[in-house]
Structure 1
């Protein structure tokens, strides 16, 4: 089957995942997942509900140790090192959680400042200027003294993005960034992600099932299947839509009902 996009991308791999297996006790979520994320790519982790997209993301940001396989950031094997090594590698990460995950008792500015206060020795006036810079990048400087409860869903996502960029990471992880947003706000967030990638040179891994967003911003990706519990296709969302002949992937990419006679294990 035609399930992998031909590679013409000569950019170096920033992230390499080999034969990764993720499980909760005896329950295997995904097994033998392998892929590379090129430097400067917007890499999509795709698949239907319950396939393990967010579980994979949790492992990549250090919240879930895999039961097998390797996960390397450049030459550093993330899970093979000690705690100090993982902290050092993790300093390269910025994470935008699905809800924004802002502290409700802190203002937007205080939320963005918190990582700098925890992990740097910068003086308060310097941190304030950097907070203003980060919020300016996402169009949220006007909300620096507002609380999350005063913001719309799209504004909370942008504030969360500013916090994710607080320590100038070169790798950004986004968990369902467009979830719950109206189409116009979602499109604006997509454009912002593209601008940040182009302007900052960041590499972005995005978990999403929002097809319009994925077609617009992602240039590579994998498709996880809940039945086979592994990655069944590799390529950009547009390539998978136009060229992948796996019935599960085709149905997902075209928003079609999968014919049970064509599903895995029934043919």
Structure 2
């Protein structure tokens, strides 16, 4: 089987009963500039879905659109059958409650303890008392192996620990979908592998659906079971399928080069990272 875009059935032809996120003919960009067009894809419940492609292809831009930071120029985006951009702001706010986001830096507030960072969504969006919030914070930090750091400041923990603390915060409201923007960026191979194991544990143990932007092939091959490949030159998706299937079967030269880490002499400039609060609180 060749899982390139041309050989796969269109997402609309697939079974949709277990589809949680769905994009149809979506175009994303800034002003008159088109970053990607003709994006159609389904993210199934319980899957780990990878957004792949070379630098500057629009991976993080697509992620911004999926978490509500960027309105698509055209097309439809549904969350569990509900059109995301239709209706009042309160409608989108309710859908956003089903999302958890881990930004590249971990995005911890430097003036707050790790525990207070994780507690922030609970304080903002629930009416739980302080004792219950503390218990939930301990639970979430325990899930990512960070119970010991609850009273530490972000400056007192490593980069990998910041990523795990950011993940605990992303899980604070028990979201249906977790979005990760380059979760392994800046981590050493051992720490990156431990984070991959943690992501798989969360998916298997909590039934979470995960959408991940990454160019780290070892991580993608280990955890992702579906995905889309964005091409910077044509500004369109050129392949659908799991990273392993694309590596082993795709005949598209761009996909093959990426999956086998072949050098490209005309790589586009890197796109900006997904906006988020960094560890300095900006």
TM-score, structure 2 normalization: 0.89
Matching residue of 1:71: 77
Match of 2:195 in 1: 189
User: Are 1:53 and 2:59 an aligned pair?
Assistant: yes
Q: Distance in 2 between matches of 1:26 and 1:90?
A: 27
**Structure 2 CA distance, aligned partners of 1:83 and 1:165?**
23
Structure-2 change in CA distance of 1:124 and 1:224 (3 Å): same
| 2:83 maps to 1:82 | no
Post-superposition offset of 1:11: 6.4
Whether the 8 Å CA contact 1:20–1:70 is kept in 2: the answer is yes
Q: Shift of the alpha carbon at 1:257? A: 2.3
Partner of 1:264: none
Alpha-carbon contact 1:248-1:258 (below 8 Å) kept: no
> Are 2:31 and 1:30 equivalent residues in the alignment?
no
Which of residues 147, 151, 157 in structure 1 aligns to 2:153?
Answer: 147
Task: Give the secondary structure class of the aligned counterpart of 1:185.
Answer: helix
CA positional deviation for 1:104: 0.5
Helix, strand or coil at the partner of 1:79: coil
For the residues of structure 2 that align with 1:182 and 1:224, how far apart are their CA atoms?
A: 26
The runs of 5 or more residues in structure 1 that have no matched partner are 261-267
1:2 and 1:61, CA in 2 relative to 1: closer, same or farther beyond 3 A?
closer
**Is the partner of 2:219 in helix, strand or coil?**
helix
User: Helix, strand or coil: the match of 2:85?
Assistant: helix
User: Which residue of structure 2 lines up, in the alignment, with residue 133 of structure 1?
Assistant: 139
Deviation at 1:23, TM superposition (A): 1.3
Secondary structure, aligned partner of 1:55: helix
The corresponding residue for 1:198 is 204
Alignment-derived partner of residue 164 in structure 1: 170
Give 5+ residue unaligned stretches, structure 2. Answer: 267-282
CA contact (8 A) 1:2 1:246 kept: no
Q: CA deviation at 1:204?
A: 0.2
Verify the 8 A CA contact 1:113 1:127 in the aligned structure 2: yes
Pick one of 216, 219, 223 that aligns with 1:213.
219
Alpha-carbon contact 1:16-1:35 (below 8 Å) kept: yes
CA distance in 2, matches of 1:52, 1:106: 33
Query: Partner of 1:94 in structure 2?
Result: 100
Look up the match of 1:15.
21
Residue in 1 that maps onto 2:278: none
